[in-house]
Amino acid sequence: MDRDPGRIGSYFRQQWRVLLVVTVTGILYNLGLAAGPWFEGQMVQKLTDIIGGRAPAAQMIRLALTYLLVIAAVQFMRFLKRLYVRKFANRTSLAMKQTLYRNLLEADTGIGSGDAMTRAISDVDDCAEGMRKFTTELFDTGVVMAAYLALLLHYDVRLTLLCLIFPPLAWLLAQKLKRPVSSAASEAKQSAGRLADASLNRTALTRTWRIFGLESRRNALYENVLADYEHRQIRSGILTSSAEPVYFIISSVSLILIIWLGGRNVLGTGWTDWDIAAFSAFLACFTRLATKSSHVGKLFGAVQKARVSWERIRPFMKNIHLKEEKTAPAGPLLVESLSIDRLSGSGRMFEKVSFQAQPGQIIGITGPVSSGKTSLGLALLGCLPFTGTVSLAGRNMDQFRDAGLSWASWLGHDPLLLSASIEDNIMLGQQHTEAELARLLELVCLDREVSAMENGIRTRVGEGGVRLSGGQQARLALARALAHPRPLLILDDPFSAVDAATEDALMANLRQCCSGRVVLLISHRLGHFPETDAVLYLEPASSLSGDPADGSHFGTHQELLAYCAGYRRLWELAAEGTEVRS
């Protein structure tokens, strides 16, 4: 279904089937809740009759069993409603994040601060949560209050109208708190962003502050930012959470009238004649109505928080990718041969590199310090200028770029991770199933570690992945590279932070899952190079003459050992246990 991601209503229309189930189950559940006070009143009356000898105990048992069956059916409807509301929220969050990632990561949005992505993802979560609560409370508050009101009017119209004076006062108070709640939520968000920036600066520039004797001053400034964050979060929390008890107290003033006037009804001196069952049912029903009316404040707080978040992310919720989708060929590009002819980087980072590779092949790339291994990878990504030709299945790399296609996945020295969940870092908003995500974690040997985390795949990794070890960061970034298949997979030292056993497993899994693409394995750890299909050895720039015939050597591991002295020397150092740094 076509949708405009810049309009909230489009997300409701997109999930209309799920919301239809929510509507049916929500109405049945909330209408069924009105049966609770009626049954409770009947049981109080029945107990009174049994004590007075006017009814046998067996009637109480039958009434209680009927009550349990009705409540069980009502709770089953509640389970279905909540299940589908959660599905709606999850799918909405995924759709929003998919659009957000495409805009922030693929478009020139001008976002450069470290906390921008963090705040954007948090805003999406808040927005989806607000939509979930709105959908839930529409039934749990709106429909059930209508059912309770109908039951109250059935028992005593005048007493009901008199008691209903106070709940609207609570709603008016909610409207009065609209501006301060919204303002406090916005200020808390801004303060969180300032704290994130201050934390990054404090970590990255600690040595600089110390050298120039500014460490104490910067610490004092950081404490001020932290104190401001604490103050604004507390204020926002108080306004959001303390409102509901106040609403309930105001709504509950009517209980005094029920006890007084309802008691007169039981005694036969009031507006209507009641028995104990009617009094108990009316009192229980109004208590629940007052409780539900207090939820208006809770719903209002969530909606206001979601509104603030939506206004922040709305500029980035655009279909900027539609033009690319119209011009690009359909389907992922996987099975492609790679041909590189006399490739040279600017500034002689590498010289006259030529080789060919077929889908399913793993090509090892190595060389001494400053031989241009990483620069070669960046050039193949289109991030560095070069001369020569790079083609996939006979098509020049520029043709892919002009068509808006991405031709390579990448894992660099320092994986760039978002301050988001493990799931978001891998999928980047792409549609997926839990089985697909579990398979990716298994391929990168991260499945057991993630399952042991408290929140599993939804565990947040912190800014830049600070909550993970170096090996976990690299494997998480590798899972992301595998999750977005491209004809070319470039891995720059993917095994530098893992142990030997994990390295063996990762190498075997790469061979298994990359049959449809070319893998370039840049590494100074040569233990698995005999298993590669070929090896590219780059000569260091300092050893090249003014006009070298060739700046690289390409062949199998055994061939290079036989004729390439530089590669043979690296292999001997690796065999001796000497680490050759790239």
Terminal Cα-to-Cα distance of the chain (whole angstroms)? 50
Judged on CB neighbours under 10 Å (0-12, 13-18, 19+), 364 is buried
Picking from 99, 104, 134, 103, the residue whose alpha carbon sits closest to that of residue 117 is: 104
| β-sheet bridge partners, residue 53 | none
Distance CA 472, CA 459 (A): 13
Q: How is 461-496 classified by DSSP, letter by letter?
A: --GGGTTS-HHHHHHHHHHHHHHS--SEEEEESTTT
Q: What's the pLDDT score for residue 555?
A: 92
Picking from 310, 308, 295, the residue whose alpha carbon sits closest to that of residue 11 is: 310
Picking from 316, 3, 313, 319, the residue whose alpha carbon sits closest to that of residue 130 is: 313
DSSP letter assigned to residue 531: G
Spell out the residues 6+ positions from residue 492 whose beta carbon is closer than 8 angstroms to its own. 373, 374, 377, 410, 411, 412, 413, 522
Judged by DSSP in three states, 466 sits in coil
From residue 275, alpha-carbon distances to 25, 39, 42, 52 in Å are 33, 14, 10, 14
Spell out the residues 6+ positions from residue 433 whose beta carbon is closer than 8 angstroms to its own. none
Adjacency order of strands within the sheet including 408-411: 408-411, 488-492, 518-522, 362-366, 534-538, 552-555
Name the CA dihedral angle for 345, 349, 355, 359, rounded to a multiple of 10 degrees. -80
Question: Where do the structural domains in the chain lie, given as residue ranges?
Answer: 1-155+297-322, 333-575
Q: What's the pLDDT score for residue 207?
A: 66
Spell out the residues 6+ positions from residue 199 whose beta carbon is closer than 8 angstroms to its own. 222, 463
CB atoms within 10 A of CB 208: 12
Q: What's the pLDDT score for residue 554?
A: 93
| β-sheet bridge partners, residue 555 | 535
In order along its 582 residues, the chain shows pLDDT tens digits of 445 677 777 888 888 888 888 888 888 887 777 788 888 888 888 888 888 888 888 888 888 898 889 888 888 988 998 888 888 888 888 778 777 776 665 544 444 444 455 667 777 777 888 788 778 777 777 777 788 888 888 888 888 888 888 767 766 776 676 677 777 877 887 888 788 877 877 776 676 666 666 677 778 888 888 888 888 888 887 776 766 666 667 766 778 888 888 888 888 888 888 888 888 888 888 887 777 766 665 666 666 667 777 777 777 776 644 333 333 333 444 556 888 888 888 777 888 889 999 988 999 999 888 788 888 888 888 778 888 888 887 778 777 766 666 778 888 877 778 778 888 888 876 777 888 899 999 999 999 999 998 888 888 888 777 888 888 888 998 898 888 888 889 998 888 778 888 888 998 888 888 888 899 999 888 888 999 999 999 987 655 554 444 578 999 999 999 999 889 998 988 877 644 443
Q: Is 491 within 8 Å of 519 (Cβ atoms)?
A: yes
* Tokens 């289109």, located at residue: 382
* Helix segments in 242-272, DSSP class H: 243-251, 254-257, 263-267
* Tokens 């934390």, located at residue: 199
Distance CA 172, CA 364 (A): 70
276: its two tokens: 């104990």
Q: What's the pLDDT score for residue 53?
A: 83
Q: Is 437 within 8 Å of 398 (Cβ atoms)?
A: no
Crossing angle for the helix pair 276-313 and 35-51, nearest 10 degrees? 160
Q: Is 478 within 8 Å of 517 (Cβ atoms)?
A: no
117: its two tokens: 């992505």
Please state which architecture CATH assigns to domain 333-575.
3-Layer(aba) Sandwich (3.40)
Q: What's the pLDDT score for residue 302?
A: 63
Picking from 417, 445, 437, the residue whose alpha carbon sits closest to that of residue 483 is: 437
447: its two tokens: 């499945």
Q: How many helices (H) and strands (E) does the chain have?
A: 25, 10
Give me Rg for the CA atoms of the chain: 33
Distance CA 222, CA 216 (A): 10
Q: Is 526 within 8 Å of 571 (Cβ atoms)?
A: yes
For β-strands 534-538 and 362-366, DSSP reports them as parallel
Q: What is the 3-state secondary structure (H, E, C) of 27-40?
A: HHHHHHHCHHHHHH
Helix (H) or strand (E) holding 48: helix 35-51
For β-strands 534-538 and 552-555, DSSP reports them as antiparallel
Secondary structure E strands in 191-235: none
CB atoms within 10 A of CB 295: 19
Distance CA 287, CA 252 (A): 7
Distance CA 574, CA 406 (A): 35
> Which sign does the torsion angle of CA 130, 136, 139, 140 carry?
negative
Picking from 232, 127, 221, 238, the residue whose alpha carbon sits closest to that of residue 189 is: 232
Distance CA 567, CA 537 (A): 7
